[in-house]
Structure 1
């Protein structure tokens, strides 16, 4: 599968209205497109940052949907976003998503790796990181997204509530340290967000 992500920053005072717009429209617009498999919207309201990701069966489905919906995305962002970054990733490894609920939290890690070691990274994530995540109380879903040719990665993990999210910090940090060391990954950022929208569609 393929994932289109967006990362946006702006005036925190204007973020709420923009989130309301995406909450009202995004799932309806995306789910009308062929190959749609899910959507997540996550925000740090205090800082004025939000990120989102839409999941697609194929690279072509992702491209077609972006061609149709990119303009509306820009219109919804316009009152808020001072910066905008949109990327497309290969969903290299992921856990079957569970049910999200109000109060869910999202942790995002981004980094770099040697493109020649992409397969090794995916293997380590599947065999070591995912089982550790799935064993954590409150784990809802997680994924390793990569850009093989550029050596970029994005890892996200969702937990059902603040208590399980806080409790996951230490074991996830330990798993992250092991896998990144073994795979030669350089971590560039670690961020935490509230989950605003979580939509999952079963595979056909």
Structure 2
């Protein structure tokens, strides 16, 4: 059965049982590769203590490409209201984070539609992120197919730790992340991951915008499973 066909058989009852969505704010900075460690230290020592006491906060993570200096910091929130209400409060910290890294911040907000962990990511874990665009009217179908068809295939790959799918339902944007135990298993998965990714995108009528690989340099997450 194809991904599209599996999505079509998802029952209304199954959808009703899903947990309320969690939300995320990402800050992307194309900065100086030599400043990455300073950025990690700032998130760990300054941002994390500041957000841990905020209502609705459920996690903080950072991805870094040490070769290009591209970094993505993500804060996760129990609901959309908590995310929105902290936006202005955290603006100075976002600005300082970008200043340390040496590039302008790019801010995006998302719904964490799917999150599935087999186990916690160890030190040295790496993450592959795929950005996509699909018809907003088909987002729910894509989510069903991701859970039923794609996620089990990803979980079979050596070194798999976790997978998440962030979406913007209004614009049809998606950011799918798969974390592996180390750089070696990430690299070994490339061929199979490419085949699975392209097959899924074709079945869903989605467009792959970009694929990038990062070190998972900070992961302090209490985001609940949603898959």
TM-score (normalised: structure 1): 0.92
Larger Rg: 2
Deviations 1:124-167, CA, capped at 9 Å, x for gaps: 11111111122222212111111111111111111111222122
1:29 to 50, 53, 56: 50
Give the equivalent residue in structure 2 for 1:126: 147
Match of 1:154 in 2: 175
Q: Aligned to 2:162, which of 128, 141, 160? A: 141
Q: Which has the higher strand share?
A: 1
| Unmatched tracts of structure 2, length 5 or more | 1-21
Query: Per-residue deviation at 1:179?
Result: 1.3
**2-side partners of 1:58 and 1:152: how far apart?**
19
Q: Which runs of 4+ in 1 moved over 6 A?
A: none
Q: CA deviation at 1:4?
A: 0.9
Give the aligned length.
Answer: 203
Q: 2: CA distance between counterparts of 1:202 and 1:54?
A: 10
- Cα RMSD for the two superposed structures: 1.6
Matching residue of 2:209? 188
Q: 2:60, 2:70 → 1: CA distance?
A: 17
Gapped runs of 5+ residues in structure 1? none
User: 2:165, 2:191 → 1: CA distance?
Assistant: 19
Q: Give TM-score scaled by structure 2 length.
A: 0.83
